[in-house]
Amino acid sequence: MTIPPSAGALAGLKVIDLTRVLGGPYCTMILSDHGAEVIKIEPPQGDETRGWGPPFLDGDASYYLGVNRNKQGIALDLGRPDGRAVLLRLLEDADIVVENFKTGTMEKWGLGYETDLAPRFPRLVHCRVSGFGAEGPLGGLPGYDAILQAMTGLMSINGSKDTGPLRLGTPVVDLATGLYSALGIMMAIHERSVSGRGQYLDMTLHDCGMALLHPQAANFFLNGKRPMPPGNAHPNICPYDKFATATGDIFIAIGNDGQFRKMMELLGQPEVADDPRFLNNGLRLTHRPELTALLAEIFAKHDGKELTLRMLKFGLPAGPVMGVDEAMAAEHTQARGMVVDVGDVRTLGSPIKLSRTPGGPRTRPPRFAEHTDSVLTRHGFSAEELAALEGKGVLYRAKK
């Protein structure tokens, strides 16, 4: 599917992207999807995710390709004063800078927000993505998705009694940090329209991981009990679980008593809804093992996809458990524009659907330093300056 051309809701915003790996690049991809000009500045060795494969396309790993579309790419050694001088010229008309260097690096380089950037660029929004932030017992230490899944309790509530704590299969903390960062940046940009001033965003994997603990945190605050890994079941709702059918697994999520009664009617066993053990959600939770066994016996006789479609049309939350390949090929996925070809790169579409200013993939992820000449020439650098910077080992056209 091709996304209709649109300048995008964020057209006119300029973002300097100093991030690499996932949380930061995911944030800037969201901004670029919706029209912001994003200039990605990589270190001389490149974003390390370029090598996180296979699979590869022309030397770049799928991991990199998946979160860097719509960006322009250059490579600078910011450890050198001349590299930082180039960055400062790029920041002169920038609205946003996003970075995920080790805490204190920007300050060491004379690029700290309060002391250096804000006085020089008062309208600049500076978003820092880090593992733990600068303050607190773990301040300044590095953070990684799986480690934060472990440390925030997310891993402890995934899995089952048999598996014990289990890492989520998707890097949910990195992705959530990217999402929260994009949201925070937009808040700061909106506030700037009133105050005329930029501000600093302190975004951490730790805090964003903690923010995902619902309903487990709410349960713990109320009952003081440590949440345990529930498997596929829900800690507060029943039936809300995976079941086997004659043709594959399905998932049902029955959120209230009316839905439970409707489901038992559809399944041809309305009397189950009148069973004293299952009259309301609290009772169903208490008698979860008996209800689960009864439903397992019923569902095992059905065609899963056919049944869940009937359930959905009857207003009941249910769906087949699908593999990623099946989800990508599904008709609804195609209809919603969630798989898009951009040149030679197939990518996910944007889930943010705006009626007048649609966003989404426009250009493939940049090859290493692909836009060096176009970006720097546009910012006033002459061919002689570019040659001099390259000769000094500040500007790179090939990975170090």
Indicate if 75 and 207 belong to the same structural domain. yes
Neighbours of 355 (CB within 10 A): 5
| DSSP per residue, 24-66 | HHHHHHHHHHTT-EEEEEE-TT--GGGGS-SSEETTEEHHHHT
Question: What CATH number corresponds to the domain at position 364?
Answer: 3.40.50.10540
Give the pLDDT confidence of 43-53 residue by residue, as tens digits: 999 999 999 99
Of the residues 47, 95, 145, 174, only one is catalytic, namely 174
Q: Are 257 and 186 in contact (CB under 8 A)?
A: no
- pTM of the predicted model as reported, rounded to 2 decimal places: 0.93
- What distance in Å separates the CA atoms of residue 253 and residue 231, rounded to the nearest whole number? 14
Neighbours of 392 (CB within 10 A): 12
- Supply the pLDDT for residue 358: 94
Give the pLDDT confidence of 317-375 residue by residue, as tens digits: 999 999 999 999 999 999 999 999 999 999 999 999 999 999 999 999 999 999 999 99
Give the pLDDT confidence of 136-146 residue by residue, as tens digits: 999 999 999 99
For range 387-398, the mean pLDDT: 96
Q: Which residue type, as a one-letter code, is found at position 171?
A: P
Indicate if 20 and 117 belong to the same structural domain. yes
pLDDT of residue 2 exceeding 90: no
- What distance in Å separates the CA atoms of residue 273 and residue 173, rounded to the nearest whole number? 39
Q: Which domain holds residue 202?
A: 14-212+334-391
Indicate if 304 and 320 belong to the same structural domain. yes
Structure tokens at 320: 């087949």
How many domains are there within the chain?
2
Does residue 174 carry a catalytic annotation?
yes
Boundary residue ending a domain (302, 329, 356)? 329
Indicate if 283 and 358 belong to the same structural domain. no
Give the pLDDT confidence of 322-333 residue by residue, as tens digits: 999 999 999 999
- Supply the pLDDT for residue 5: 64
Indicate if 309 and 206 belong to the same structural domain. no
Q: Is residue 287 part of a domain?
A: yes
pLDDT band at 1 (very low <50, low <70, confident <90, very high): very low
Quote the mean pLDDT of the chain: 95
- What distance in Å separates the CA atoms of residue 125 and residue 195, rounded to the nearest whole number? 13
Indicate if 303 and 339 belong to the same structural domain. no
For range 106-111, the mean pLDDT: 96
